[in-house]
Amino acid sequence: MGIDIARASFEEIGEEHVGTSFETPLREDAFEMDDDLKVELIEKHFREIMNIMGLDLTDDSLKGTPHRVAKMYVKEVFSGLNPKNKPAAKLFENKYKYNEMLVEKDITFHSHCEHHFVPIYGKAHVAYISNGSVIGLSKINRIVQYFSKRPQVQERLTMQIGNELIEVLGTQDVAVIMDAYHMCVSSRGVNDTNSSTVTSFFSGKFKHDEQSRNEFLKYISLEK
């Protein structure tokens, strides 16, 4: 494959927002460098990007930007890359024998498109059917936030949250729906400010039992 053809197809993957794997593509040595060194190096490189664009880095308003961006990347918006930031999930015994569906809807999340590094933001709706243990509601939010704080494609984000819940809750009966706006679609490219993207993950009863799935969809008032 010639270089031009290769580049054309890379650009196409980005524009079409096609992800290539379920796991976030990370190198083995991703965390050999500590966070402080990462901030220092990203700051240096971001300053260079601004320099190349001809921005005056001695300007009072701009001079702190490289450091701010570097810190934001490592400690905030991409902190979910590092497994050490994964929320510890504490389970509770389901003493009151609630074995109906639990739905947590309208969980706000902010992520970043891995093809353009601009925000993806929207709502996540999560459901599970307890098999004997339950999880604190805030933990569901934290799991959503953790996987959101990575460069992402929405399909992978949805699957990663779903699989994590299966693992944590010890049940296959998990559903996740995400409805999100992509800044790379609204503020550039086709400049479509109205469209949102819906992705879903259905496992166990949500996948095989139409009634469970419909009940969930009814709760979040998205008709099929």
Q: Which residues are annotated as a binding site for Zn(2+)?
A: 113, 116, 184
153 binds Zn ion (CB under 5 A): no
Active site residue 115: yes
Instruction: Please report whether residue 113 would count as binding Zn ion according to CB under 5 A.
Output: yes
To the query of whether residue 110 is one of the catalytic residues in this protein, the response is no
Of residues 70 and 113, the one with the C-beta less far from Zn ion: 113
Active site (annotated) includes residue 154: yes
Structure tokens that stand for 15 in this block: 């524009």
177 neighbors 105 (Cβ within 8 angstroms) = no
The candidate with the shortest Cα–Cα distance to 165, out of 192, 196, 137, 197, is 137
Pairing of strands 151-152, 133-135: unpaired
Beta bridge partners of 104: 126
Judged by CB under 5 A, which of 38, 112, 116, 213 binds Zn ion? 116
Q: Cβ closer to Zn ion: 115 or 125? A: 115
Stretch that binds Zn ion, among 88-96, 108-116, 144-152, 191-199 (CB under 5 A): 108-116
Contacts (CB under 5 A) with Zn ion, residues 172-201:
184
Other C-beta atoms lying within 10 Å of the C-beta of residue 176: 29
Q: What is the total count of residues that contact Zn ion (CB under 5 A)? A: 4
Cα distance between residue 124 and residue 196, in whole Å: 13
Q: Which is nearer to Zn ion, 79 or 186 (CB)?
A: 186
Residue 19 makes CB contacts below 8 A (sequence gap 6+) with: 114, 153, 155, 156
Would residue 114 show up in a list of annotated catalytic residues for this protein? yes
Residues 16-75 interacting with Zn ion (rule: CB under 5 A): none
CB of 183 to Zn ion, least distance (A): 8
**How far is it, in rounded angstroms, from Cα 101 to Cα 3?**
52
Please identify which residue in 112, 115, 139, 156 interacts with Zn ion, judged by CB under 5 A.
Answer: 115
Helix (H) or strand (E) holding 169: helix 154-169
Is 116 tagged catalytic? yes
Please provide the size of the chain in residues.
224
Q: Give the residue numbers annotated as catalytic, written as ranges.
A: 113-116, 154, 182, 184
Residues engaged in binding Zn ion (CB under 5 A): 113, 115-116, 184
